[in-house]
Structures are given as structure tokens and as C-alpha cells.
Amino acid sequence: MKENTLPQKDTRFIKQEGKVLMLGNEAIVRGCLESGVSYVSQYPGTPTSDIGEYFHQVIKESPEINDHLIHHWAVNEAVATSACAGAAWTGCRTFNPMKHVGLNVASDALSVIALNGPNPGAMVILVGSDPGSLGSHQEQNERFYTWMLHLPCFEPHTPQECKDWTKLAFELSEKFDTVFEIRMSTRSAHSRGFVKLDPLMKGKSKGEFIRNIPKYNSLPPHAINNHIRLYERIEKIREIIPELGINKVYPGTNKVGIITSGMPFGYTMEALAQLNLNDVPVLKLGIIYPLNFEEIKDFLESLETVIIIEELEPFLEVKIAEIALKEKINVDIIGEKSFPKYNEFSTGLVAKCVAKIFNKEPSKQMINAMQYFESYKSIVPSRFPTFCAGCPERATLYSILKATDNLKNTVICGDIGCYVMSFFPPQECSDLVICMSCGISAAIGMSTKTNQNIIALIGDSTFFHTGMAPLAEAVGYNSNVLLFIFENSWTAMTGHQDDVLRYLINQGFSIEKICESIGVPWLRVEDSYNPKRLTRTIEEALDVKGLKVIIVRRECALQAHRWRMNQIRALESKGKRVQDISYYIGGCQMCFECARVLSCPAIRRTTTEEGIEEMQIDQDRCIKCGVCYEVCPNGAIRKSIINVFEEEVPFREL
């Protein structure tokens, strides 16, 4: 019997019972499906982007869920948060994932939504933190928003907790008319573990909004009343925390104890085991805001010292110190002075810090393990992140460098997108990065105070996210800025989601027409695969005073290459022959224009059998964009076409 090699349908999200292996983010989605969530809205951002992809997978493959569950890729986090509130106010359960810096964007709306409360429905937000900036431009400690906005916050450690506490968050949100938060990190979001499944709950297909002006209009006097009501709700939630069973004490007889939560809890328990500190009591907090005073008091009273183990700035430490002071508990609190307030933790780091506190020497096995880990730094060469082979943004940077004589008297205001990598060597073509769309905002102010050439970068997804407002201001003041808009038709950096950008493009939405409508005085549309023409256009723009916009229209190389190869395979499957284009290097002068200025990763330096150094194109990585062929100053990159009279399959035009 022939073995079935067809891909199997993923049933983990729709099975009614059983035990399955899941990532933390997958378990969150399963928790939503078991809670009867019927509306989800988010803007993609690491480490939460895949949550939306799992929802789309479920909706696509499961008609029984498709009839009540809606997932929207929002244009930005503020839109997503407000949309979830609107759906909750019809009596539905709604879910709003975002990354930690996305909470900055959502906070304006969320500060009011938290006052109003989500009833008659329920609303849970998920915030993906990123200690160590593994996929973000900074590692802000967003936990402080829970204080400011009064968002009760669960911080799960295992995928099972991710699923179970998501369900609990929805139950409590509905019961207490309060927006709840689940805090993940890059590690907890993408760590695997077994998850026991419970039955799915069908969400509401439709609800109804019932008018209630005092509740939904947080303006004076209702804003004050809603603020009072929010404090009352938080205190009720604080009281019931012990009943929830999510905070857990691991008992011990030592007079030094530890309070921790989330992923640092795992590092802590491993570190204690390695140090043979088996008598140290540990309080694992499942909810980090609000804290139940009696639980904290009971844990502290038998201790002489308590160690707070948490990543980034002291959040738990501040509140625990406050409780100890109010309750007049004489206990030494060790935290930020013994643990770093930056970067992510690890078992080794926690073990070293704890060993120092306890005046204990790490075991030989532990030292050997850390040395073995560190030894790989000298074996595995570090590499800067870089653009994909054939990336149109890389080609644009090449033209910018050429047109400005390697950025002479020029400032590049960067932004968030794949092009954020432009500040790495060898291009070093970004002088500043703030946040989404703030490149053009910074450029507006900078252009008023310097005679340097000011260039700003922005991608199409960021343009829709928050970029149109600063562009309108630049038009209003006719700021002396050259803005590049990378129109690659994808939200590429977060994984090519089929989001609102794709929908707008499919509907014929045009960034060029938006620029014209706003009143951009000098506008050009160029193709970075024609680098010499683009270079001339940049030179022309820099000679013009006032606002200039160059739209670089060329599809993301990854998606363009996939589409092209699919077209080729489809034609060949029908017995048709197509042109086969390849590029190769002959007579290289080793000027490094292709490797150090264009810096395409498909081109590498090699040594021939005769000991001669030359550049070589890696045919497995080359996507045949032809930019290197265009820019080689010595004509050493050659183009070869096999089956020259057969059908040509070019990249698709946007």
C-alpha cells in the first residue's frame, strides 16, 4: 500500500478533546476558541503576528467556526483596539493582540475603553513583550501601562497556562466589565508544551448595541464617574485573586525567598536546582496587576530577604516594596541592584546572580555548560541582518548612496520596516530610527534647522499605518525633504500577511493617487531594478527645494520570485519551454561594487583552483533581478539567456 504523503489537516484548533503539542501563541488561539471569541483585530508585529495567521487558518479550514468568527488585519493598533471595543459593546467577546510597542499606538484609545469597560461583551488584549529586542527596535517595559490604564494582567509561563488563562481572562472581563491583558514574551510565545484541550465554545454571530450614554461617553461628568467605577472594579478583582489559583507558592524553609513570574520563573527554578538551593521558597505570580495584598504579605512575613526576579525595569519590585512598607514588614528586598535592567534573562544569568546573592559557588557542571555555550561565539561568526537577494529596497539604497556621493552632506531619516536594516554595514544608510512613520516627522523638523540634504524612508504598510498624517504636514509646510515610499505591496517584515494592505491593493488603491490628492508638489514613480535611472531621479530631486516624493514601485523580492517560479512551473507542466536567464561573472576586477556597495548576499568572494580571488554569483540564491548586471562598472557581470526564442516570464508588475 502506497504511503499517503499528502499534508495532514491541522486539527489541534478544532478538536473537542485530547492533548496536543502547541506553541504559546497557538495555545492562546485555542483558548480564544474555547472562550467563544467572535471578533479579533490586530496589526501584525513580532512576537504576535502568527496569532492572526492561526486564526486565518482556522477560519479557512473550518466552516463551522467561519460562520461566527471574524479576524481583521487592522491598519494600525489604535484601529484594532477601537474595533474590538465596538464589537464588545454589541455583546461579543473580542480579542486584540499586539506587540509591546503597538501598545503605545493603542494606548490613546485603550485609556478610554478601559474606563468605559467592555460590557455587555468581553475584551482581552494580548501584549507581546520583547526583552532583548529580538524582533523589535527597542525593549520597552510595557508592564507600566497596566498601572496607568488599570488593565488586570496575566503573565503565563507554559502553553497550558496560555490557554487556560486566556479563558479565565474572558470570564473575568465579562464578569467585572474590565479589559484584561495577557502578557507574553518572545520566548513564551514561541515555546512548545503539551496542552490539554477542552470543548470549543461557539461565539456570537451577531449582537446588538444598546444605548448607554454615561457608560460609552467618557467626557465630563461621565469620565469621572467611570474612573471611580474602574477603581471599584479593580478592587473587586484584587479581592478574588486567591480564589483563582493562578498564583502558586513553592514552599521552603530558607529565610530568603523569591518572587517572580512568566519566563523568569522557569529560569529561576532551573537555577535553584543547579545551585542545589532546594529549600528556597518561591512565589510564582500568575497575575502581575493587581496584586493581592494578603498573598504578598503572607509570603513575606516569614522571610528576612526577598529576591525579585523580573526582566527589564523594576515593576514587581516597586509594588512589593510598597506592600512591605504599608504592612510594616521588615524584609530586605533585592532586585534591580543584583539583576540587569536590560536584555532578556537566561538560566545561566539568573544562576550567576542568585549564586552571588547566596555566596554560593556555581557547580563545575554549570560552569562547564556556560563556558561551552559561550565558546560558540568564537566558532560561529556573527552576522549582521541583511536584505534578501534581489530586494528592491537594497537596490534603492544603492542609488541613494550613488546620488549623494556616499551620503555626503546628507541625513537619512529611517523608519520601521525591512529597510531598518539599512543602518548595518556595509550600507550604513540610516542615521536615525524612532518608530513607525516618525522618519518623515523627524525630517520635517530637521529640514527647518539644517542646510543638509534630508531624506526620509517609509514603507507602504507603515504609510497606511500612520504615515499619511506627517506627509500632509510636509505638504502643508512644503518641507525641504525627499521622501522615499517603498511600494512593495506586502507587509513583508512580519511575514507577508494577507492584511488590509493587500486588500487595498487588490481594490486598486494607489499611494501615487493619495500623494497627488494630498498635494505633493514633486512626485515621481521609479523602479529600483533600473538603478541608473533612479540615481538620476534622486540627483534631480536633491536640486529641487521643497517636498519631493519618489515612490519606488517593485514587489517584495521573496513574493515576486515565488510568483515567477510558480508561473514557470505551470508553463513547464504543460510542456512549454521558457527562457532561462542567468547571470555569471567573468573578468572580475575585484572592485567590490556588487559586494560592498550593492552588497547582494547572492554574490560572494571565492578563490579559484589557481589561487585567484574572484567574485561569484550563487545561482541557488540569485533571483535574476539583474541589478548587479546593471551596476557593474567593469562589465564583468554577464547575462545569459537559454531558450532565447521561447516565452519570457518576467516579474509581475505592480
pLDDT in tens, 231-253: 999 999 999 999 999 999 999 99
Which of 22-36, 65-79, 328-342, 486-500 bottoms out in mean pLDDT, i.e. has the lowest?
486-500
Exposed, middle or buried, 576 (CB in 10 Å: 0-12/13-18/19+)? exposed
The CA-atom distances, in angstroms, between 603 and each of 312, 497, 623 are: 40, 29, 12
Say whether pLDDT at 8 is over 80: no
Q: Which amino acid appears at position 106 of this protein? A: A
**Set of cell numbers at residue 560:** 515576486
| Predicted confidence band of residue 381 (pLDDT cuts 50, 70, 90) | confident
Eight-class DSSP state of 118? -
pLDDT score recorded for residue 380 = 79
Strand ranges across the sheet with 332-334? 248-250, 282-285, 256-261, 305-309, 332-334
Query: Which H/E stretch holds residue 641?
Result: strand 637-642
Exposed, middle or buried, 439 (CB in 10 Å: 0-12/13-18/19+)? buried
Report the residue count for the chain.
Answer: 654
Phi first, then psi: give them for residue 85, nearest 5 degrees. -65, -45
| Predicted confidence band of residue 32 (pLDDT cuts 50, 70, 90) | very high
Say whether pLDDT at 530 is over 80: yes
Q: 125 Cβ partners below 8 Å, 6+ apart?
A: 81, 84, 95, 96, 97, 98, 103, 106, 110, 151, 179, 180, 181, 182
Say whether pLDDT at 408 is over 60: yes
| Predicted confidence band of residue 6 (pLDDT cuts 50, 70, 90) | low
The CA-atom distances, in angstroms, between 316 and each of 260, 280, 312, 320 are: 8, 19, 11, 6
Question: What's the average model confidence in pLDDT over 63-91?
Answer: 95
pLDDT score recorded for residue 4 = 53
Are the beta carbons of 430 and 416 closer than 8 angstroms? no
Are the beta carbons of 264 and 310 closer than 8 angstroms? yes
Query: Which H/E stretch holds residue 369?
Result: helix 364-379
pLDDT in tens, 334-354: 999 999 999 999 999 999 999
Question: What's the average model confidence in pLDDT over 295-308?
Answer: 98
d(CA 431, CA 397): 13
Q: Is the dihedral of CA 631, 636, 642, 645 positive or negative?
A: positive
Say whether pLDDT at 222 is over 80: yes
pLDDT in tens, 183-217: 999 999 999 999 999 999 999 999 999 999 999 99
pLDDT score recorded for residue 531 = 97
Mean pLDDT across the chain, nearest whole number?
94
Query: Which H/E stretch holds residue 95?
Result: strand 93-99
Kindly report, as residue ranges, where domains of CATH 3.40.50.970 are found in the chain: 18-206+214-243, 392-557
In terms of DSSP bridges, do strands 453-459 and 410-413 run parallel, antiparallel, or are they unpaired? parallel
Backbone angle region of 439, left / alpha / beta, with phi > 0 → left and psi within -120 to 50 → alpha: alpha
Say whether pLDDT at 2 is over 60: no
Kindly report, as residue ranges, where domains of CATH 3.40.50.920 are found in the chain: 248-379
pLDDT score recorded for residue 486 = 96
Peptide bond into 47 cis (omega under 30): yes
Question: What's the average model confidence in pLDDT over 22-32?
Answer: 98
Q: What class, spelled out in words, does domain 392-557 have in CATH?
A: alpha beta
Q: Which amino acid appears at position 556 of this protein? A: C
pLDDT score recorded for residue 184 = 98
Eight-class DSSP state of 25? H
Say whether pLDDT at 1 is over 50: no
Angle at 544 between CA 541 and CA 549, to 5 degrees: 45
Q: How many percent of the chain have pLDDT more than 70?
A: 99
Helix ranges restricted to H, 177-282: 186-189, 213-216, 222-244, 262-274
Say whether pLDDT at 555 is over 50: yes
d(CA 104, CA 367): 41
Query: Which H/E stretch holds residue 614?
Result: strand 613-617
Q: Estimate the share of the chain in helix, then strand, then coil, as percent rounded to the nearest 5.
A: 40, 20, 40
d(CA 214, CA 119): 13
pLDDT score recorded for residue 236 = 98
Look-up: residue for cell 530631486? Answer: 541
Are the beta carbons of 419 and 488 closer than 8 angstroms? no
pLDDT score recorded for residue 384 = 84
Fold exhibited by the domain 18-206+214-243: Rossmann fold (3.40.50)
Phi first, then psi: give them for residue 94, nearest 5 degrees. -125, 150
**Set of cell numbers at residue 289:** 496587576
d(CA 284, CA 295): 11
Nearest to 39 by CA among 68, 77, 73: 68
pLDDT in tens, 473-503: 999 999 999 999 999 988 888 888 877 778 8
List, as one string, the DSSP characters of 313-344. Answer: S-SHHHHHHHHHHHTT---EEESTTTS-SSS-
pLDDT score recorded for residue 497 = 83
Q: 216 Cβ partners below 8 Å, 6+ apart?
A: 89, 116
Question: What's the average model confidence in pLDDT over 22-48?
Answer: 97
Q: 540 Cβ partners below 8 Å, 6+ apart?
A: none
pLDDT score recorded for residue 507 = 84
Say whether pLDDT at 90 is over 80: yes
Nearest to 547 by CA among 515, 585, 579: 515
pLDDT score recorded for residue 3 = 52
**Set of cell numbers at residue 547:** 517636498
The CA-atom distances, in angstroms, between 272 and each of 244, 256, 276, 280, 353 are: 27, 12, 6, 8, 11
Are the beta carbons of 519 and 451 closer than 8 angstroms? no
CATH 3.40.50.300 fits 248-379, yes or no: no
List, as one string, the DSSP characters of 145-199. Answer: HHHHHT--EE---SHHHHHHHHHHHHHHHHHHT--EEEEEEHHHHT-EEEEEE--
pLDDT score recorded for residue 370 = 79
The CA-atom distances, in angstroms, between 651 and each of 559, 577, 625, 646 are: 10, 17, 9, 16
CA–centroid distance for 160 within its chain: 23
pLDDT in tens, 569-591: 999 999 999 999 999 998 899 99
